[in-house]
Amino acid sequence: MIYRETGQFRTSYAEDQAIFRLRQDKIGIAVILAIAWVGIPLLADEYLLRAILIPFLILSVAAIGLNLLLGYCGQISLGTGAFMAVGAYAAYNLALRVPGSPLLLDFLLAGLVAAAVGVLFGLPSLRIKGLYLAVATLAAQFFADWAFLRVPWFTNYTPSGSVTAPRLDFFGWVVDTPLEKYWLCLAFACVIALLAKNLVRSRIGRSWMAIRDMDIAAEIIGIRPMTAKLSAFAVSSFVAGLAGVLWAFVHLGSWEPLAFSIDMSFRLLFMVIIGGMGSILGSFLGAAFITVLPIFLNQVPAMIGIQLSTAMVSHLEFMIFGTLIVLFLIWEPHGLARLWQIGKEKMRLWPFPY
């Protein structure tokens, strides 16, 4: 009833290629954007912004990055945390060592540095795949952990190894309050999501998907595996790097290498699996789920009168994540995004049972 497409005719190629072809989708996305840009700032308090919404938006961006690689190009990466770290430290060093450079430029350059590192560790993907690649990307993770801990130049020789982000000044707009930070993250998330959505609908996105579905067949019909795989690594690491900058500069403020440990990489992998491999919407759903679940576990048992120790909560979190991963892989490998799609299909027919 809600999703009725009767009477909506597409009469030109341009209309046929639009991102949101249905009127309902257009209205829906407009409503969501309005809520995100205006509604939430009016209603949300500082805690909600700081503890849930800002991390959610940044992790969504990172999950989009991993999803481009894993969900669209089929190359597994256990090193997303490392690429985020590269972005964060690159931005830190650029801002520190090139005084007067605009912060936005630093952010983008940091993304490019992360992309270069991503390509470097993606090189083995030309010869190996699947499980072997997982180990190659783990190498990236461990190497980055070590480098940012042990090479003092990266942290500007601070004795504790923890570094603090400079003031967030975008051409005179000083981002200071949680609300401003939220808007900044939202802006990045919107732009990246739009870019990613368009990228995967374009020639290059289709070549990624061809590689994912069967690389040999893709090669035979004329897709260059090297270009496709390395471009996927580059774009994915760029997005992850940007997310890393946001995570460090906007969310944490001051951080240690531990902030981007292998835990982060696994968390992002879970977001992509639970949210939906090969779906931009899924990245957002997965990020929301993984951000909210620990908070939920922390607060709900206490509300109904069960006291759980912190250790117990983290163990429960492990168990629930593990179970969910297995269940999603068995029942719905395309994750929450696919569930949403099924829901839409149902709504098209409802209330008629055919």
Partner 1 sequence: MAELGPVLEVLLGGLMSGVLYALVALGFVLIFKASGVFNFAQGAMVLFAALSLVRLSEWLPFPLAFLLTIVIMIAVAWAVERLVLRPLVGQHGLILFMATIGVTFFLDGFGQTIWGSNVYQLDLGIPASPWFLLENVFPGGILVSPIDVFAAAIAGSLVLALSIFFHSTKIGRALRAVADDHQAAQSVGIPLNQIWLIVWSTAGIVALVAGMAWGSKLGVQFSLSLVALKALPVLILGGLTSIPGAIVGGLVVGAGEKLAELYIGPLIGGGIEYWFAYVLALAVLLVRPQGLFGEKIIERV
Residues from 252 through 271 that contact partner 1 (CB under 8 A): 262, 266, 269
Q: Applying CB under 8 A, which of residues 139, 204, 258, 339 lies at the interface with partner 1? A: 139
Distance of alpha carbon 265 from alpha carbon 121, whole angstroms: 15
Segment near partner 1 (CB under 8 A), from 49-57, 149-157, 193-201, 293-301? 149-157
Of the candidates 42, 221, 306, 330, which one interacts with partner 1 according to CB under 8 A? 330
Contact between 86 and partner 1 (CB under 8 A)? no
Q: Which of residues 107-126 bind partner 1 (CB under 8 A)?
A: 123-124
> Minimum distance from CB of 123 to partner 1 (Å)?
8
Does 151 interact with partner 1 (rule: CB under 8 A)? yes
Q: How far apart are CA 292 and CA 274, in angstroms?
A: 13
Q: If binding means CB under 8 A, how many residues of this protein chain bind partner 1?
A: 46
CB 67, min distance to partner 1, A: 14
Q: How far apart are the C-alpha atoms of 209 and 280, rounded to whole Å?
A: 14
Residue 208 lies near partner 1 (rule: CB under 8 A): no
Instruction: Round to whole Å and give the CA distance between 249 and 275.
Output: 26
Verify binding: residue 350, partner 1, rule CB under 8 A: no
Tell whether residue 221 is a contact of partner 1 (CB under 8 A): no
- Near partner 1 by CB under 8 A: residue from 1, 12, 127, 351: 127
Residue owning tokens 């990246």: 192
Among 108, 116, 149, 195, binds partner 1 (CB under 8 A): 149
Position among 172, 311, 352, 354 found at the interface with partner 1 (CB under 8 A): 311
Choose, by CB under 8 A, the member of 59, 85, 86, 136 that binds partner 1: 136
297 near partner 1 (CB under 8 A): no
d(CA 59, CA 247): 8
Residue among 152, 149, 238 at smallest CA distance from 192: 238
What is the binding site for partner 1 (CB under 8 A)? 74, 76, 123-124, 127-128, 130-132, 134-136, 138-139, 142-143, 145-146, 149-152, 216-217, 262, 266, 269, 273, 311-312, 314-326, 329-330, 333
